[in-house]
Structures are given as structure tokens and as C-alpha cells.
Structure 1
Amino acid sequence: MTPHLRTARGCSLGTAALTAGAVYLGTTMSPWAAVPGLYVAAFLGWCARRSYAAHRRTLVRHEQARLAALGEELLLGMPCCRLPEHSASRAHGTNCLRPPDFADELAAACCAEGFVSRGAHHESACRINSPRSSAA
């Protein structure tokens, strides 16, 4: 258990308690009495979510360090994550332990300019030649 997990659980407990208190105040008194409790509950929910994410990042870093200590020869036969099994090894999960292979990504890219600009610009001879939205 990391300190982030303890913080996340405490914030989650506070969120649940404040939400229950706000519902009680909203039904027995004025609905306006519930607003401060709901605001603080929303903030604690946000804090809990951030702490859970930090906990997961810490676990991934520890797993990466453990696998690096095992050596590269053990890692060759070990799958990095579950997503490559379903995507013909073209996609990897966000917590994938394998470092990205830029040579494979460049080979799969439509053109060199599209690879460098992450799809925003393409060469004139590119088969796609349509800029990708920055919102994607």
C-alpha cells in the first residue's frame, strides 16, 4: 500500500460522508444548505481520483524497475500488456512496460512529415494528406 492509496481512500470516505450529509441537509433543511457540502465532496472526489492515479503510476514504476532487474533475456518471452494480443502488436496500453519502438511507428506512418508532426502535416505525395485535428 502506497501513501497515495491511503490518501485516496481517506478522500473517498470523506466524499461519501459529505455527500450523505449534504443529502440529509438538502432534504431536511433548505437545498442551499447542501451546496457547501457538495462542493467540498466534489473537491475531495477530485483529490481521491488524483491519488488513485498516483498510486497506479507508482505501482507501474515499481514493476518496471523489478522487470529491469530481472534482465532483458527474461523480458523477451513475456508479454508487455494485453492490448497487443488483440491489435496485432500495433497498440499498447497506457501502463505498458515495454518502451515504445519508434522504428515500428515510423514504418507504419504514412510519411516522414506526418510522423514528425503527429499527423498535423503531410508530404505532398502522402496517401493520406489530410491534417489531423489538434483536438484528437
Structure 2
Amino acid sequence: MTRHLLRQYTAALGALALAAAGAVCIWRGQLGPAAMAGLTVLCLTDIALRAGRRHQRLLEEHEWARRRGAGENPAPLWPCCLLASSSRGRAHSHRCTAPPLHRTDKE
């Protein structure tokens, strides 16, 4: 279990618990706490989704590295690294899967 998967499960469980608490608040007529619980559910759901994507990416990177270590020549992942996706290809991380010739950061 990766830390991202643990974060995903924790955030999802927290969102579920707060959704139940928000429903109870609405049932009792307490709209202020219900609105805060709803906003927190949205934030925790976003955290869970992002952690799930990071976990999946980590698994793909490990599989890519395993295949590379076994002597295969796997195609680069898309995006080649998370830093490249956020910098529009201008910078690459040390875990980048693209060959150095295809990078635009002039390493």
C-alpha cells in the first residue's frame, strides 16, 4: 500500500463520515453546519481523487521501471513525468520516462 492509496482511503472515509454528519444536520434543521460539512466533503473528495491518480501513476512508473530493468524498451508514459505536465514540457523530474533527446529542458 502506497502513501497515496492510504491518503485516498482516509479522505474517502472522512468524506463519507462528513456526508452522513451533513445529512443529520439537514434533518435537524442546522443548515450552517450542513453547508460547512458539504464544502469539506467536496474538498476531501478532491483529495481522494488526486491521491488515487498519484497512486495509479506510481504503479505505472514502477511497472515501466521493471520492464526497463528486464531489458525491454517500453514507450514513455504520458505525460512522461508529473513535472513536465505542470511545466508544459519545459522541465522534467528525475523520474521522467522520456528519453533525454525528446526532452525540452536541455539537461
Normalising by structure 1, we get a TM-score of 0.53
Match of 1:25 in 2: 25
Provide the C-alpha distance between the structure 1 equivalents of 2:59 and 2:48, rounded to a whole number of angstroms.
Answer: 17
Task: Quote how far apart the aligned CAs of 1:56 are.
Answer: 0.4
Q: Which runs of 5+ in 1 are unaligned?
A: 76-96, 101-136
Distance, in Å, in 1 between the alignment partners of 2:70 and 2:33 is 57
Provide Cα deviations, 1:70-122, integer angstroms capped at 9, x if missing partner.
112xx6xxxxxxxxxxxxxxxxxxxxx5238xxxxxxxxxxxxxxxxxxxxxx
- Taking structure 2 as the reference length, what is the TM-score of the superposition? 0.66
- The structure with the greater share of residues assigned to helix is 2
Alignment of 1:23-102 (within 5 A): 23-72=23-72, 98-99=75-76
Larger C-alpha radius of gyration, 1 or 2? Answer: 1
Unaligned runs of 5+ in 2: 78-107
- Identity, in percent, stands at 30
Higher relative contact order (CA 8 A, sep 6+): 2
Q: How much is the aligned-residue C-alpha RMSD, in angstroms?
A: 1.6
Measure, in 1, the Cα distance between the counterparts of 2:53 and 2:44.
Answer: 14
